[in-house]
Amino acid sequence: MNMSERESLQHAAPPVFILSCERSGSTLLRYIVDTHEQICCPGQLYLGQLCRDLHTTIFYSLGQTLGTASEEERGRTIAAEVRRVVDELMSKYAQAKGKRMWCDKTTLNLQHLKILDAVFPDAKCICLYRHSMDVVYSSIECSRLGFMPELAPYVQKNPENIVAAMVENWIDKTGKLLAFEREHQERCFRIKYEDVVLNPTETLRRMFTFLNLEWSDTLIDAIFTAPHDPGSGDRKILFSKKIEQSSLGKGSTLPHEDIPTDLLGEMNRLLEELNYPTVGADWGKTRSPYLPAASETGGGEILVTTVEEIFERHFPKLLRKRKEDLRAMNGVCKFVVSGEGGGVWTLRFAAANWSIAAEDADADCTVEATADILLDLVNGKLNAVAAFDQGKLYVTGDFELANNIGQLLFGG
């Protein structure tokens, strides 16, 4: 490697990892990422496994020549050497593709988070989730000719109850991913398969903003026409012409009564943390099973009846629940509400701190709506993006800040 190539590596953008359980839409997301003109995302590369094996090789070779180095120093040296080898390979691949960043979407990387974190402490991670029952359904559906190697251990453990086996698979991997996300909030972006499918433009715009990449609405139209390198993953995408919604909610047809009580409780705990509908007696009967649950109810109930209640009770309660989501939120947003019970309220965000005041003040962004529209947004009767597109919601000023606040207050 010549000097210019070494300098290029030193100034390369941090790598990106799509982390998810199997059957969560990672192949679709890798196609989406790979379509962007500045980042490449090939098929599964198993970089976590590669880093583990390289670490072993270097530890018993170069690592043994480090003399009196402490174990901590030895570990840093070995991790840096693993990084150099992988960076050289992947940077050359990205350059050959005419791009400046690379991404790996291997689902098995969830088994190697510790080594990946040591080797790539600056990596950005897209944490992809999907409702457990849809993952279970898809896992069973794709296993008619044999279970994927990643799923086989769970089937071997519980061969007489495949639904329970797939639930345990989802619990184990979702739990690992959530724990990693909590520990590395500044480097992680949470995204849901359901949001990608139902609201791709807004969801993907936010994701690419997190990656410091410019968004273009034309990207969605190019996902299935742009060339993508072959690789393992969901093969259905090879026959897709657009982002489909047909797979949403199929998990509602599964007999949840077959799930043991302990697994059901743990699954529902994780679903609640992700703000998904939980699974109970009414599963699949009274509400769409794939849509985010209403934040304060079991779904479909009226949360608030007056505008004043929104700012005095609902928003404060919501912000207290989502304190972790506020860490990167900074700025001032003003709500101007017309109609019955309307007024002006100012919301201030600074790291994890926030305040709401019934006052008119200078703001970074301003959101305008009628009282009826705001109540519909809060009560889940109207999507914020749809309201904006239909001219029912007006935003001025810092649009990105308004988007982030809108996701916080009205999103899943």
The domain that contains 196 carries what CATH number? 3.40.50.300
Domain match, 356 and 222 both: no
Residue 366's domain is classified under what CATH number?
3.30.1050.10
Domain match, 221 and 341 both: no
Instruction: Decide if 37 is inside a domain.
Output: yes
Instruction: Decide if 294 is inside a domain.
Output: no
**Exposure letters 161-171 (e unless 16+ CB within 10 A, then b):** bbbbbbbbbbb
The residue among 239, 259, 281 that closes a domain is 239
> Rounded to 10 degrees, what is the CA torsion of 174, 327, 354, 329?
-110
Domain match, 210 and 314 both: no
Instruction: Decide if 264 is inside a domain.
Output: no
Domain match, 185 and 311 both: no
Domain match, 36 and 177 both: yes
Domain match, 35 and 153 both: yes
Domain match, 30 and 171 both: yes
Instruction: Decide if 249 is inside a domain.
Output: no
Domain match, 324 and 223 both: no
Per-residue pLDDT at 149? 83
Instruction: Decide if 262 is inside a domain.
Output: no
Per-residue pLDDT at 291? 56
Domain match, 222 and 335 both: no
As a whole number of Å, the end-to-end CA separation of the chain is 47
CA distance readout (Å), 49 to 148, 177, 183:
17, 17, 22
Burial class (CB in 10 A: 0-12, 13-18, 19+), 160: exposed
Instruction: Decide if 405 is inside a domain.
Output: yes
pLDDT band of 127, cuts 50, 70, 90: very high
Q: Which residue type is seen at 215?
A: W
Distance CA(74)–CA(270), nearest Å, equals 38
The residue among 239, 265, 287 that closes a domain is 239
pTM of the model: 0.68
* Percentage of the chain lying above the pLDDT 90 cut: 64
> Strand, helix or coil at 283?
coil
Domain match, 141 and 226 both: yes
Q: What mean pLDDT value characterizes the chain?
A: 88
pLDDT band of 1, cuts 50, 70, 90: very low
Instruction: Decide if 268 is inside a domain.
Output: no
pLDDT beyond 70 at 12: no
The residue among 190, 221, 239 that closes a domain is 239
Q: Which range marks the domain in which residue 58 is found?
A: 3-239
pLDDT band of 4, cuts 50, 70, 90: very low
Least confident of 84-98, 151-165, 199-213, 379-393: 379-393
Domain match, 149 and 229 both: yes
Instruction: Decide if 280 is inside a domain.
Output: no
Number of domains in the chain: 2
